[in-house]
Structure 1
Amino acid sequence: DVVHLAVRPSPHHLRPSTRVGRRLPAHSTALGKALLATHDDARVRELLPETLPAPTGHTVTDREELIGELRVIRERGFAVDREENTPGLCCFGVAIPYRTPARDAVSCSVPVARLTPDRERSIGDALLDARDRLALMTRRL
Protein backbone atom coordinates (compact mmCIF):
# COMPACT_ATOMS: atom_id res chain seq x y z
CA ASP A 1 0.00 0.00 0.00
CA VAL A 2 0.89 3.67 -0.28
CA VAL A 3 -0.07 6.35 2.23
CA HIS A 4 -0.48 10.03 1.37
CA LEU A 5 1.75 12.10 3.66
CA ALA A 6 0.97 15.51 2.14
CA VAL A 7 -1.64 16.81 -0.30
CA ARG A 8 -1.88 20.04 -2.28
CA PRO A 9 -5.45 20.59 -3.52
CA SER A 10 -6.15 21.92 -6.99
CA PRO A 11 -7.86 25.31 -7.39
CA HIS A 12 -10.15 23.86 -10.12
CA HIS A 13 -13.75 22.95 -9.36
CA LEU A 14 -13.25 19.51 -10.97
CA ARG A 15 -10.37 18.09 -8.94
CA PRO A 16 -9.09 14.91 -7.33
CA SER A 17 -10.21 14.29 -3.78
CA THR A 18 -7.71 12.81 -1.34
CA ARG A 19 -6.47 13.39 2.18
CA VAL A 20 -3.38 12.97 4.30
CA GLY A 21 -3.30 9.44 5.70
CA ARG A 22 -5.29 7.91 2.84
CA ARG A 23 -4.07 4.35 2.16
CA LEU A 24 -4.34 2.90 -1.37
CA PRO A 25 -3.15 -0.31 -3.07
CA ALA A 26 0.34 0.19 -4.51
CA HIS A 27 -0.39 -1.72 -7.72
CA SER A 28 -3.26 0.59 -8.73
CA THR A 29 -1.64 3.98 -8.10
CA ALA A 30 1.10 5.90 -9.89
CA LEU A 31 2.82 6.46 -6.54
CA GLY A 32 2.79 2.76 -5.76
CA LYS A 33 3.88 1.66 -9.22
CA ALA A 34 6.74 4.17 -9.15
CA LEU A 35 7.87 2.70 -5.82
CA LEU A 36 7.39 -0.92 -6.94
CA ALA A 37 9.51 -0.19 -10.03
CA THR A 38 12.50 0.47 -7.75
CA HIS A 39 12.46 -3.24 -6.83
CA ASP A 40 13.62 -5.98 -9.19
CA ASP A 41 11.06 -8.36 -10.69
CA ALA A 42 11.83 -11.14 -8.21
CA ARG A 43 11.17 -8.86 -5.23
CA VAL A 44 7.90 -7.63 -6.77
CA ARG A 45 6.82 -11.28 -7.08
CA GLU A 46 7.56 -11.71 -3.36
CA LEU A 47 5.63 -8.56 -2.42
CA LEU A 48 2.47 -9.06 -4.49
CA PRO A 49 0.05 -11.97 -4.96
CA GLU A 50 -0.50 -13.40 -8.47
CA THR A 51 -3.98 -11.87 -8.65
CA LEU A 52 -4.43 -8.29 -7.49
CA PRO A 53 -7.63 -6.55 -6.35
CA ALA A 54 -9.36 -4.23 -8.82
CA PRO A 55 -10.55 -0.88 -7.44
CA THR A 56 -11.82 -0.09 -10.98
CA GLY A 57 -12.31 -1.90 -14.27
CA HIS A 58 -9.07 -0.31 -15.54
CA THR A 59 -6.84 -1.78 -12.83
CA VAL A 60 -4.13 -4.26 -13.82
CA THR A 61 -4.95 -7.37 -11.79
CA ASP A 62 -2.35 -9.82 -13.15
CA ARG A 63 1.01 -9.63 -11.37
CA GLU A 64 3.02 -10.56 -14.48
CA GLU A 65 1.26 -7.90 -16.55
CA LEU A 66 2.05 -5.38 -13.81
CA ILE A 67 5.71 -6.47 -13.82
CA GLY A 68 5.78 -5.77 -17.56
CA GLU A 69 4.44 -2.29 -16.85
CA LEU A 70 7.06 -1.78 -14.12
CA ARG A 71 9.79 -2.49 -16.70
CA VAL A 72 8.38 0.33 -18.86
CA ILE A 73 8.28 2.62 -15.82
CA ARG A 74 11.95 1.88 -15.09
CA GLU A 75 12.85 2.92 -18.64
CA ARG A 76 10.57 5.99 -18.82
CA GLY A 77 11.27 7.17 -15.28
CA PHE A 78 7.68 7.79 -14.20
CA ALA A 79 4.51 5.79 -13.59
CA VAL A 80 1.00 6.39 -14.89
CA ASP A 81 -2.31 5.30 -13.40
CA ARG A 82 -5.11 5.73 -15.96
CA GLU A 83 -8.32 5.43 -13.98
CA GLU A 84 -6.89 2.37 -12.20
CA ASN A 85 -7.75 3.66 -8.76
CA THR A 86 -10.36 6.36 -9.37
CA PRO A 87 -12.67 6.58 -12.41
CA GLY A 88 -12.11 9.78 -14.37
CA LEU A 89 -8.68 10.43 -12.87
CA CYS A 90 -5.20 9.95 -14.33
CA CYS A 91 -2.18 10.15 -12.05
CA PHE A 92 1.54 10.41 -12.80
CA GLY A 93 4.18 9.54 -10.20
CA VAL A 94 7.92 9.30 -9.61
CA ALA A 95 9.92 7.64 -6.86
CA ILE A 96 12.51 9.83 -5.14
CA PRO A 97 15.76 7.80 -5.40
CA TYR A 98 17.74 8.98 -2.41
CA ARG A 99 17.72 5.39 -1.08
CA THR A 100 17.20 2.01 -2.75
CA PRO A 101 14.58 0.77 -2.86
CA ALA A 102 12.79 4.11 -2.73
CA ARG A 103 10.31 4.74 0.06
CA ASP A 104 9.03 8.13 -1.05
CA ALA A 105 7.33 9.35 -4.21
CA VAL A 106 5.49 12.37 -5.56
CA SER A 107 2.58 12.47 -7.97
CA CYS A 108 0.28 14.73 -9.94
CA SER A 109 -3.35 13.79 -10.58
CA VAL A 110 -5.39 15.21 -13.44
CA PRO A 111 -9.01 14.61 -14.43
CA VAL A 112 -9.04 12.63 -17.69
CA ALA A 113 -11.27 15.34 -19.20
CA ARG A 114 -8.37 17.86 -18.96
CA LEU A 115 -5.65 15.52 -20.20
CA THR A 116 -4.02 15.89 -23.62
CA PRO A 117 -0.89 14.20 -25.02
CA ASP A 118 1.01 17.50 -24.66
CA ARG A 119 -0.10 17.88 -21.05
CA GLU A 120 0.92 14.26 -20.34
CA ARG A 121 4.43 14.95 -21.67
CA SER A 122 4.77 18.18 -19.72
CA ILE A 123 3.61 16.54 -16.47
CA GLY A 124 6.03 13.64 -16.97
CA ASP A 125 8.91 16.03 -17.69
CA ALA A 126 8.04 18.22 -14.67
CA LEU A 127 7.93 15.20 -12.37
CA LEU A 128 11.28 13.90 -13.63
CA ASP A 129 12.79 17.33 -13.00
CA ALA A 130 11.24 17.48 -9.51
CA ARG A 131 12.51 13.95 -8.79
CA ASP A 132 16.07 14.92 -9.71
CA ARG A 133 15.98 18.12 -7.63
CA LEU A 134 14.43 16.39 -4.61
CA ALA A 135 16.93 13.52 -4.78
CA LEU A 136 19.81 15.98 -4.87
CA MET A 137 18.42 17.96 -1.92
CA THR A 138 17.73 14.89 0.22
CA ARG A 139 21.19 13.43 -0.42
CA ARG A 140 22.68 16.62 1.06
CA LEU A 141 20.72 16.31 4.32
Structure 2
Amino acid sequence: MRTISRVGRRVPAHAGALGKALLAERSDAALTSLTEPFTALTEHTHTGRASLLADLEQVRERGYSIEHEETVPGIAGFGFALRYDTPAIDAISCSVPLARLTVDHESRIVSVMREVQAKIETLLAPASGTPDWR
Protein backbone atom coordinates (compact mmCIF):
# COMPACT_ATOMS: atom_id res chain seq x y z
CA MET A 1 0.00 0.00 0.00
CA ARG A 2 1.17 3.53 -0.71
CA THR A 3 -0.29 7.00 -0.62
CA ILE A 4 -1.22 8.59 -3.90
CA SER A 5 -1.73 12.31 -3.99
CA ARG A 6 -1.19 15.17 -6.36
CA VAL A 7 0.17 18.66 -5.97
CA GLY A 8 -2.68 21.09 -5.47
CA ARG A 9 -5.16 18.51 -4.21
CA ARG A 10 -7.75 20.25 -2.07
CA VAL A 11 -8.91 18.74 1.19
CA PRO A 12 -11.37 20.47 3.53
CA ALA A 13 -9.52 22.07 6.46
CA HIS A 14 -11.56 20.12 9.04
CA ALA A 15 -10.43 16.80 7.58
CA GLY A 16 -6.74 16.99 6.69
CA ALA A 17 -3.59 17.29 8.77
CA LEU A 18 -2.53 20.54 7.07
CA GLY A 19 -5.91 22.18 7.57
CA LYS A 20 -6.26 21.12 11.17
CA ALA A 21 -2.74 22.36 11.95
CA LEU A 22 -3.71 25.78 10.58
CA LEU A 23 -7.17 25.85 12.18
CA ALA A 24 -5.59 25.15 15.57
CA GLU A 25 -3.53 28.33 15.20
CA ARG A 26 -6.74 30.31 15.51
CA SER A 27 -9.02 30.65 18.53
CA ASP A 28 -12.27 28.71 18.66
CA ALA A 29 -14.11 32.04 18.48
CA ALA A 30 -12.35 32.84 15.18
CA LEU A 31 -13.72 29.63 13.65
CA THR A 32 -17.37 30.69 13.66
CA SER A 33 -17.54 30.66 9.86
CA LEU A 34 -17.27 26.87 9.82
CA THR A 35 -20.81 25.67 9.15
CA GLU A 36 -22.10 22.26 10.12
CA PRO A 37 -22.42 19.59 9.09
CA PHE A 38 -18.90 19.36 7.72
CA THR A 39 -18.35 17.27 4.62
CA ALA A 40 -17.43 13.69 5.49
CA LEU A 41 -14.73 12.18 3.29
CA THR A 42 -14.61 8.95 5.29
CA GLU A 43 -16.44 7.55 8.30
CA HIS A 44 -13.67 9.06 10.48
CA THR A 45 -14.00 12.68 9.28
CA HIS A 46 -15.25 15.25 11.80
CA THR A 47 -18.75 16.33 10.79
CA GLY A 48 -19.57 18.44 13.85
CA ARG A 49 -18.10 21.52 15.47
CA ALA A 50 -17.78 19.98 18.96
CA SER A 51 -15.64 17.04 17.85
CA LEU A 52 -13.49 19.27 15.63
CA LEU A 53 -12.90 21.81 18.43
CA ALA A 54 -11.95 18.98 20.83
CA ASP A 55 -9.46 17.71 18.24
CA LEU A 56 -8.05 21.22 17.71
CA GLU A 57 -7.50 21.59 21.45
CA GLN A 58 -5.37 18.41 21.37
CA VAL A 59 -3.48 19.82 18.37
CA ARG A 60 -2.68 22.97 20.36
CA GLU A 61 -1.46 20.92 23.32
CA ARG A 62 0.66 18.57 21.16
CA GLY A 63 1.91 21.23 18.77
CA TYR A 64 0.92 19.31 15.62
CA SER A 65 -2.16 17.69 14.12
CA ILE A 66 -2.87 14.02 13.57
CA GLU A 67 -5.28 12.76 10.97
CA HIS A 68 -6.27 9.08 11.10
CA GLU A 69 -8.24 7.96 8.04
CA GLU A 70 -10.17 11.25 7.93
CA THR A 71 -9.41 11.90 4.25
CA VAL A 72 -8.32 8.50 2.92
CA PRO A 73 -9.01 5.08 4.47
CA GLY A 74 -5.81 3.41 5.67
CA ILE A 75 -3.77 6.64 5.74
CA ALA A 76 -2.59 8.76 8.69
CA GLY A 77 -1.17 12.26 8.44
CA PHE A 78 0.78 14.62 10.69
CA GLY A 79 0.55 18.39 10.16
CA PHE A 80 2.79 21.18 11.46
CA ALA A 81 1.91 24.87 11.19
CA LEU A 82 4.78 27.10 10.11
CA ARG A 83 4.84 29.91 12.63
CA TYR A 84 7.09 32.44 10.91
CA ASP A 85 4.10 34.78 10.83
CA THR A 86 0.96 35.19 12.92
CA PRO A 87 -1.45 33.70 12.32
CA ALA A 88 0.24 30.83 10.53
CA ILE A 89 -0.80 30.62 6.88
CA ASP A 90 1.37 27.70 5.80
CA ALA A 91 1.92 24.18 7.06
CA ILE A 92 3.82 21.01 6.20
CA SER A 93 2.65 17.43 6.56
CA CYS A 94 3.68 13.82 6.24
CA SER A 95 1.32 10.97 5.38
CA VAL A 96 1.90 7.28 5.96
CA PRO A 97 -0.08 4.08 5.49
CA LEU A 98 -1.48 2.93 8.84
CA ALA A 99 -0.23 -0.58 8.06
CA ARG A 100 3.34 0.76 8.39
CA LEU A 101 2.76 3.09 11.33
CA THR A 102 4.27 1.85 14.56
CA VAL A 103 4.83 3.86 17.73
CA ASP A 104 8.54 4.12 16.89
CA HIS A 105 7.81 5.17 13.29
CA GLU A 106 5.35 7.83 14.46
CA SER A 107 7.89 9.15 16.95
CA ARG A 108 10.52 9.37 14.19
CA ILE A 109 8.13 11.14 11.80
CA VAL A 110 7.22 13.71 14.46
CA SER A 111 10.86 14.27 15.35
CA VAL A 112 11.95 14.81 11.75
CA MET A 113 8.95 17.02 10.96
CA ARG A 114 9.66 19.18 14.02
CA GLU A 115 13.25 19.63 12.82
CA VAL A 116 12.05 20.65 9.35
CA GLN A 117 9.43 22.98 10.87
CA ALA A 118 12.11 24.69 13.00
CA LYS A 119 14.47 25.09 10.04
CA ILE A 120 11.79 26.68 7.88
CA GLU A 121 10.65 29.00 10.67
CA THR A 122 14.24 30.07 11.32
CA LEU A 123 14.92 30.83 7.65
CA LEU A 124 11.77 32.85 7.11
CA ALA A 125 11.64 36.06 9.10
CA PRO A 126 8.20 37.35 10.10
CA ALA A 127 6.64 39.44 7.35
CA SER A 128 3.47 41.40 6.95
CA GLY A 129 1.29 38.57 5.72
CA THR A 130 3.51 37.46 2.83
CA PRO A 131 6.25 34.85 3.27
CA ASP A 132 9.66 35.65 1.79
CA TRP A 133 10.43 32.45 -0.14
CA ARG A 134 13.87 33.73 -1.27
| 2:19 corresponding residue in structure 1 | 32
| 1:10 corresponding residue in structure 2 | none
Which is richer in helix?
1
What are the ranges of 5 or more consecutive residues in structure 2 without an aligned counterpart?
A: 127-131
Of 89-98 and 116-125, more deviation after overlay is shown by 116-125
Partner AA of 2:22 in structure 1: L
How many correspondences in the alignment? 127
TM-score, normalised via structure 1 length: 0.85
Q: SS of 2:2's equivalent?
A: coil
* 1:127 and 2:113 correspond: yes
What are the ranges of 5 or more consecutive residues in structure 1 without an aligned counterpart?
A: 1-13
Among all aligned residue pairs of Structure 1 and Structure 2, give the percentage whose two residues are the same amino acid.
46
Question: Where in structure 2 are the equivalents of 1:43-54 lying within 5 Å?
Answer: 43-44=30-31, 46-54=32-40
* 1:96 and 2:98 correspond: no
Deviations 1:4-47 (A, max 9, x none): xxxxxxxxxx3211111211111110000000001001012x23
Question: Does structure 2 retain, via aligned residues, the 8 Å contact 1:92–1:124?
Answer: yes
TM-score, normalised via structure 2 length: 0.89
Q: 2:102 & 2:58 partners in 1: Cα distance? A: 20
| 1:115 corresponding residue in structure 2 | 101
Q: Could you say what the CA RMSD is over the residues aligned between the two structures, in angstroms?
A: 1.3
Q: SS of 1:19's equivalent?
A: coil
